[in-house]
């Protein structure tokens, strides 16, 4: 019998960091973090071999996969003391892709899976917050419709924007339970109208979610990213199914992204951003401008707001750096004052940062000089030779605006407001600068074709910032 599913949870895991080829980077590290004793919500990983099987067998699964998934769900239910699809105290999952090497934002994630018209009521009751339950439900409907059903995301965004506008709200967090219930109704009407109806049955949701992750391995933007980064198409992706923790359940909740060192300069400081009362994608999507982790003296940082949690975060950071002996890029969520880690991986960095980190890690005794040399990719050195502004000319110039230095360099070109136009203009021989409200994975080809990228929203960990740094393209967000 082939083993297709590997569980993790409660400080135990069937996999570990060395099993990246089979479990994908995310799955291997989720297993490893469990073994290191970090607080990681339990779950399981469906292997990359299932993805390969899926594409070699006409989009079908191995016969014994269903049973193995059912057993894994039961295992997680045992740890959590809740049941998936239970109408009284439902267990909810995220379904997350994870290839061998990280492909930021390339593959799609569905959060809050398992919610339907019944379980949402149970969640409201169990949590004592209708607002939270319906916020989770409308997020689920939106993500599932987008990722799994391929619906036009704009329709849902528009409904959300209209709701906020009609009520005079500035932020998503201003929405009340009643507003969110209404929004859920509107989302369902949109689904009916365009023929993309989210199934009510949680098991159906789960299988559709798993299928969507495997399906997304072969979408254009994933293929483009692989081409740009020399990743073979036959590696496949794993699927991680993980118990949800909620950063959107109130003002003692948050979600964040952090780096164990500054990914732009390499400086040995704890670097990151977080948002109170928010879920996963909100930080990277740049929906609200996030706040810094470390204190800047103005009271907005996590360090000042929750000193004890900050200390826990610092401990985990030190723990993970010592364990992996490399700069880490981490995701965390705080649910009602309790910290959970959702991901760690070796962080992408600029060439400057790569050099500095490699040298300093030798000085700190973490790695040898030979290891340090291997940490700096030849391609990265190219970044150091990128254009920079003439400082004297800069002083004389008049700034139109100001933003965060998401990725270093200097760029000049005509501005374009869509990725398609930017790409077309670059192909026609123009130097272009892509200007977007925020970027998303669909923009990847336009980003690759641009000299520089400018976004209105988002911080240092936004999609635009992460991808631009990886490409060595100048980006202001």
Picked from Mg ion, ligand ADP, none, the partner binding residue 216 (CB below 5 to 8 A depending on kind) is none
**Token pair of 300, please?**
């907005």
15, 280, 347, 472: which one contacts ligand ADP (CB under 6 A)?
Answer: 280
**Residues of this chain, 239-258, that bind Mg ion according to CB under 5 A:** none
Nearer to ligand ADP, 172 or 331 (CB): 331
**Of 240-248, 346-354, 374-382, 390-398, which part binds ligand ADP (CB under 6 A)?**
240-248
In the complex, what is the shortest distance from the CB of residue 107 to ligand ADP, in angstroms, rounded to a whole number?
A: 6
**CA distance linking residue 265 with residue 257, whole number of Å:** 17
Q: Which is nearer to ligand ADP, 9 or 452 (CB)?
A: 9
User: Residues in contact with Mg ion, total (CB under 5 A)?
Assistant: 1
Residue 391 in tokens: 């400082």
Q: Residue 242 or 462: which CB sits closer to ligand ADP?
A: 242
Binds ligand ADP by CB under 6 A, chosen from 90, 105, 286, 459: 105
- Of residues 129 and 343, the one with the C-beta less far from Mg ion: 343
Q: Which is nearer to ligand ADP, 342 or 468 (CB)?
A: 342
Position closest to Mg ion via CB: 343
Site for Mg ion in 300-359 (CB under 5 A): 343
Binding mask 339-358 for ligand ADP (x = CB under 6 A): ---xx---------------
**Cβ pair 255, 283 in contact under 8 A:** yes
Place of tokens 């439902």: 90
Q: Which does 226 bind (CB under 5 to 8 A by kind): Mg ion, ligand ADP, none?
A: none
Residue 148 is given by DSSP the state I
Report in angstroms how near the CB of residue 183 gets to Mg ion at its nearest.
Answer: 26
63-71, 132-140, 193-201, 236-244 -> range binding ligand ADP (CB under 6 A):
236-244
Which CB sits closer to ligand ADP, 245 or 276?
245
- Considering CB under 6 A, how many residues would be counted as binding ligand ADP? 16
Per the CB < 8 A criterion, the answer to whether 84 and 202 are in contact is yes
- Is 215:12 a contact under the CB 8 Å cutoff? no
Chain position whose Cβ is nearest to ligand ADP:
280
Cα separation, 446 vs 110, whole angstroms:
25
Residue 242 site contact among Mg ion, ligand ADP, none (CB < 5 to 8 Å, cut-off depends on kind): ligand ADP
**Distant-in-sequence, close-in-space partners of 431: CB < 8 Å, separation ≥ 6:** 411, 412, 413, 414, 451
Long-range residue pairs from 69-77, CB within 8 A, at least 24 positions apart, any chain:
69/5, 69/44, 69/206, 69/210, 69/241, 71/5, 72/5, 72/7, 72/44, 72/241, 73/44, 73/206, 73/241, 75/7, 75/9, 75/42, 75/44, 76/7, 76/9, 76/42, 76/43, 76/44, 76/243
Contacts 24+ apart (CB under 8 A), 309-315: 309/334, 309/337, 309/339, 312/339, 313/258, 313/270, 313/339, 314/270
Positions 158 through 217 that interact with ligand ADP (CB under 6 A): none
* Residue 245 vs 355, nearer CB to ligand ADP: 245
Percent composition of the chain: helix, strand, coil (DSSP 3-state, to 5): 45, 15, 35
Q: Which member of 145, 216, 237, 333 binds ligand ADP (CB under 6 A)?
A: 333
Determine which helix (DSSP H) or strand (DSSP E) holds 7, and give its type and residue range.
strand 5-9
* Residue 48 found at the interface with Mg ion (CB under 5 A): no
The distance of closest approach from Cβ of residue 331 to ligand ADP in the complex, given in angstroms and rounded to an integer, is: 4
- Which helix (H) or strand (E) segment holds residue 183: the answer is helix 177-194
Which letter does DSSP use for residue 144 in this model? I
Name the minimum Å distance from CB 258 to Mg ion.
12
Q: Note the residue count of the chain.
A: 477
Q: Which stretch binds ligand ADP (CB under 6 A): 32-40, 239-247, 259-267, 314-322?
A: 239-247
* Residues within the interface to ligand ADP (CB under 6 A): 41, 94, 96, 105, 109, 111, 242-245, 280-281, 331, 333, 342-343
* Residues within the interface to Mg ion (CB under 5 A): 343
């Amino acid at each position: 019998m082939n083993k297709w599913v590997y569980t993790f949870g409660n400080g135990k895991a069937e996999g570990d960091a060395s099993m990246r080829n089979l479990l994908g980077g995310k799955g291997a590290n989720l297993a490893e973090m469990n073994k290191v004793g970090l607080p990681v919500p339990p779950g399981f990983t469906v292997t990359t071999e299932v993805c390969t099987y899926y594409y070699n067998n006409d989009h079908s699964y191995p016969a014994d996969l269903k049973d193995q998934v059912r057993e894994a769900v039961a295992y997680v239910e045992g740890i959590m003391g809740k049941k998936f699809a239970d109408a009284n105290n439902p267990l909810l999952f995220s379904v997350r892709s994870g290839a061998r090497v990280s492909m930021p934002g390339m593959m799609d994630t569905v959060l809050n899976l398992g919610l339907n018209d019944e379980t949402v009521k149970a969640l409201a009751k169990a949590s004592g917050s209708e607002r939270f339950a319906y916020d989770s439900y409308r997020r689920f409907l939106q993500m599932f419709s987008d990722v799994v059903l391929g619906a036009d995301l704009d329709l849902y965004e528009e409904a959300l924007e209209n709701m906020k506008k009609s009520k005079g709200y500035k932020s998503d967090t201003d929405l009340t339970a009643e507003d969110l219930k209404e929004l859920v109704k509107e989302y369902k009407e949109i689904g009916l109208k365009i023929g993309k109806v989210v199934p009510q049955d949680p098991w159906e949701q789960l299988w559709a979610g798993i299928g969507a992750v495997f399906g997304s391995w072969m979408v254009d933007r994933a293929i483009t990213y692989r081409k740009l980064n020399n990743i073979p198409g036959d590696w496949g992706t794993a699927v991680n199914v993980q118990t949800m923790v909620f950063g959107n359940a109130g003002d003692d909740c948050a979600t964040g992204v952090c780096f164990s060192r500054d990914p732009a300069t390499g400086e040995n400081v704890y670097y990151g951003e977080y948002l109170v009362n928010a879920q996963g994608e909100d930080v990277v999507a740049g929906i609200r401008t996030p706040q810094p982790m470390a204190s800047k003296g103005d009271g907005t940082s996590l360090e000042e707001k929750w000193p004890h949690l900050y200390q826990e975060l610092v401990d985990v950071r030190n723990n993970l750096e010592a364990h992996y002996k490399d700069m880490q890029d981490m995701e965390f969520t705080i649910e009602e004052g309790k910290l959970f880690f959702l991901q760690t991986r070796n962080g992408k960095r600029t060439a400057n940062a790569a050099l500095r980190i490699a040298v300093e890690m030798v000085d700190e005794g973490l790695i040898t000089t030979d290891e340090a040399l291997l940490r700096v990719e030849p391609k990265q050195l190219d970044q150091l030779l990128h254009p920079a502004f003439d400082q004297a000319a800069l002083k004389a110039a008049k700034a139109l605006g100001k933003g965060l230095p998401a990725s270093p360099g200097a760029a000049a070109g005509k501005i374009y407001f869509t990725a398609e136009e930017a790409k077309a203009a670059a192909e026609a021989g123009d130097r272009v600068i892509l200007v977007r409200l925020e970027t998303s994975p669909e923009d990847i080809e336009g980003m690759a074709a641009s000299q520089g990228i400018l976004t209105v929203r988002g911080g240092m960990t936004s999609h635009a910032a992460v991808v631009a740094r990886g490409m060595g393209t100048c980006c202001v967000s």
